[in-house]
Chains A and B, each alone.
Chain A
Amino acid sequence: MTEPLLELRALSTHYESARGTRVTRAVDDVSLTLEPGKTLGIVGESGSGKSTLALSIMRLLPPAARIVGGEIRFEGENLLTKSPREMRHIRGKRIAMILQDPMASLNPLFTIGDQIAESLRVHEGASRAAAWSRAKGLLQAVRISAPVTRMKEFPHQMSGGMRQRIVGAIAVACEPRLLIADEPTTSLDLTIQAQYLSLLRDLQRDHNLAMIFITHNLGIVAKMCDAVAVMYAGRVVEAGPIRQIFNKPAHPYTRALLESVPRLTDDNHARLPAIEGQPPDPSAPPSGCAFHPRCPQMMERCQAQAPPSVTVASSHTARCWLHLP
């Protein structure tokens, strides 16, 4: 087995209100591993802690949030002990990130070429000319036609899909080892989405890039990821290889999620199954297993005690009492 590129060990990130009276466990005791060149999908409802997890890895949490425990090991080093200056050299250079909104991710006042060249100049001290010519190569890599003219254009002259591809080019400019994509396709329409995803896969293959793909779209996970982690109320309730999760989901929540995906083969008149109830208030999660109020297989034990992580198959874990005697 290869050395993991990224390893989270019992990571917990909490939000504290100004007086410290209300604590929200946005990320709670999360352990995950990611090997070089692989893709890990993180799925979950809004507010399940996916984005906070990503920001914790980048160490870019808002002031109210604090990493209260655990370790983030990246290429064998613990990121939590790095100084802000060291983190700045890691961000963009070794870990890159793509944000949700491509329309707003580019500075409206600079040309495309300048913005791609910027991170090359910041991190590698490349000269203006060298950075510019590499930027041109990157634009070609993200399949933008006529890169020489496009380099001199401004973001408002581009379509949304092009802008998102440019954001992708900026992300891979410094050859990072890890790319975190936080719902990168939510604001794109479907055909552009498909193009963009295949572009990301090509970039991943060409640069041997590991990816963390945050989404709530299970179809994208199935297409893009090698492994998937399902988050619910700040915890990873199930994690494992993609086939295992899709074919043999071990946690009732995962099962419910998969059942609520519409299928073309289904009877058109049947109602789509939905998960009953509402996602829990993250600052006041239910006792025991956070999913118990909505779980069809709830037992008495679930209300009292949170289940530990159980290995159900090789590298497939679930937090559910169903799998414990």
Chain B
Amino acid sequence: MNASTAVVLAEVPRRASRRLSSYPVVPLAIIGLMVFIALAADVLAPHNPEVGSLGMRFRPPVWQAGGSAAHLLGTDHLGRDVLSRLLFGARVSLVVGFTAVVVAGLLGVALGIAAGYLGGWVDEVIMRLTDTWLALPALTFAIFLAAVLGPSELNIIIVLSCVYWTRYARVIRGEVLSLKEREFVRLAIIAGCSRLTIMRRHILPNVLNSAIVLATLMLGVVVVTEAALSFLGVGVPPPKPAWGLMLADGKRGLMAGYWWLTVLPGLCIMFLVLAANLLGDWLRVKLDPQLRQL
């Protein structure tokens, strides 16, 4: 990029519509809506998500013949309200997703910085561990860990963090390797800063951008993995409403025409992951220092 392009870009008129389109409206709206739903599920949900009445099993959504306004999106095989379960399911997905992404991120960034900056045997140990980790198929590894730890929301978070920290460690280490050769890091060494000070004050802030972008992209991966684990029965234990669990419960009803039991939670997962990925892509461009300097 040269100076002339920068000038041209700066002269683009900043009308409200244009400014709006430069933000990822759709993904932000989806994630914002999901966060709102997760926070307000208690108020929004018309029924208790974990208790159903067996007399009301397999009611279709309201717009289909046999549907009722009491259960807008129908009921499942135990007569539980699908809408309420979806609303509470958002809470599970987001809590597990965000926490796992953050915990994995903290672990991965810390180890990545240590490996990249300290080098030597520290680097050797951390990176060989990462290589071994990445050689295992993520989902198989997660199922194994989950089976060992037993199903619970906390364990799912531990499992996902254990599985995905390596992704961060890899990327961050690479960044640190190039950062530590930069003049300002050398100047900090010359100024007599200790290694800890340099890692904390000079390296960490410079890799945070990458870590945030990575975290956003990982959110999608983690949500899908959580759903998969729940689907396979080693994730969130029933009767807690989780989207993956709802898919698992509903899959036998699919052939019988009870489509809403699988399609609706599937759509929820899809939209959340899609929004996370779109947001991640946008952030990656936005926070890229090369592009940002325009």
Assess A91 versus B187: contact at CB under 8 Å? Given A108-B206, A109-B206, A122-B197.
Answer: no
8 Å CB interface, B151-207 against A: 182-184, 186-194, 197, 201-202, 205-206
- Residues 88-101 of A, flagged 1 when their CB comes within 8 A of B and 0 if not, give 11111100110111
Q: A88-B194, A118-B201, A156-B293 are in contact. Are A105 and B184 (CB under 8 A)?
A: yes
Q: How large is the interface on B (under 10, 10 to 19, 20 to 34, 35 or more residues)?
A: 10 to 19
Do residues B184 and A104 form an inter-chain contact, with CB atoms below 8 A?
yes
Q: Nearest Cβ distance between residue A31 and chain B, in whole angstroms?
A: 24
Chain B residues lying within 8 Å of A101, measured Cβ to Cβ, are: 183
Query: B184 to A123, Cβ gap below 8 A?
Result: no
Residue of A nearest to B185 (CB): A107
The smallest C-beta distance from B43 to any residue of chain A, in angstroms, reads: 41
The answer to whether A60 touches B189 (Cβ under 8 A) is yes
Q: Judging by beta carbons under 8 Å apart, are B183 and A99 in contact?
A: yes
Shortest CB-to-CB span from A166 to chain B, Å, is 11
Chain A residue with the shortest CB-CB distance to B289: A108
Q: How many A-B residue contacts, CB cutoff 8 Å?
A: 64
Contact A106 B190 (CB under 8 A): no
Interface check A119, CB cutoff 8 A: yes
Q: How far is the CA of A232 from the CA of B49 in the complex (A)?
A: 82
Main secondary structure of the interface of B (DSSP, over half): helix
Interface size range of chain A in the complex:
20 to 34
The CB with the most chain A CB atoms within 10 A, among B183, B201, B202, B293, is that of B183
With both beta carbons as reference points, the residue of chain B lying nearest to A107 in the complex is identified as B184
| Shortest Cβ distance from residue B206 to the other chain A in the assembled complex, whole angstroms | 6
Q: How far is the CB of A12 from chain B (nearest CB, A)?
A: 23
Is the CB–CB distance between B183 and A104 below 8 Å?
yes
Interchain nearest-CB distance for A60 vs B (Å): 6
Which residues of chain B come closer than 8 Å to A93, judged between CB atoms? 192
Residue of B191, B201, B293 with highest tally of chain A CB at under 10 A: B191
Q: List the A side residues contacting B184 at CB < 8 Å.
A: 104-108
Is A58 part of the binding interface, using a Cβ–Cβ cutoff of 8 Å? yes
Tell me whether A92 and B191 are in contact (CB under 8 A): yes
Q: Indicate if the CB atoms of B183 and A119 lie closer than 8 Å.
A: no
B205 and A99 contacting across the interface, CB-CB below 8 Å = no
Q: How far is the CA of A101 from the CA of B185 in the complex (A)?
A: 12
CA distance A104 to B190 in the complex (A): 14
Q: A237: CB under 8 A from chain B?
A: no
Determine the distance from Cα of A96 to Cα of B197 in the docked complex, in whole angstroms: 18
Q: Which residues of B contact A96 (CB under 8 A)?
A: 190-191
Asked whether A170 is an interface residue with its Cβ less than 8 Å from the other chain, the reply is yes
**When the two chains form their complex, are residues A92 and B205 in contact, meaning their CB atoms are under 8 A apart?**
no
Which residues of A lie under 8 Å from residue B186 when comparing CB positions?
A: 99
Contact of B192 among A99, A105, A122, A167 (CB under 8 A): A122
User: Roughly how many angstroms separate A119 CA and B187 CA in the complex, as a whole number?
Assistant: 11
In the complex, what residues of A have CB within 8 A of residue B197's CB?
Answer: 122
Q: Nearest CB to that of B293 among chain A residues? A: A156
Chain A neighbourhood of B201, CB < 8 A = 107, 110, 118
Chain A residue contacts of B182, Cβ below 8 A:
104
Given contacts A107-B206, A156-B293, contact A122 B191 (CB under 8 A): yes
Q: With contacts A99-B183, A105-B183 known, is A92 near B206, CB below 8 A?
A: no
Across the interface, name the chain A residue whose C-beta is closest to B184.
A107
Task: Tell whether, in the assembled complex, residue B206 and residue A123 are in contact, meaning their CB atoms are under 8 Å apart.
Answer: no
Q: Who on chain A is nearest to B206 by CB?
A: A109
**For B189, what are the chain A residues with a Cβ–Cβ distance below 8 Å?**
60, 91
Are B192 and A170 in contact, with the CB atoms below 8 A?
no
Q: Contact check, B190 vs A99: say whether CB atoms are below 8 A apart.
A: yes
Q: Which residues from chain A sit less than 8 Å from chain B, CB to CB?
A: 58, 60, 88-93, 96-97, 99-101, 104-110, 118-119, 122-123, 156, 167, 170
Q: What are 13 A-B residue pairs whose CB atoms fall within 8 Å in the complex?
A: A58-B190, A88-B193, A91-B190, A104-B184, A106-B184, A107-B206, A108-B184, A109-B205, A110-B201, A118-B188, A118-B191, A118-B201, A167-B187
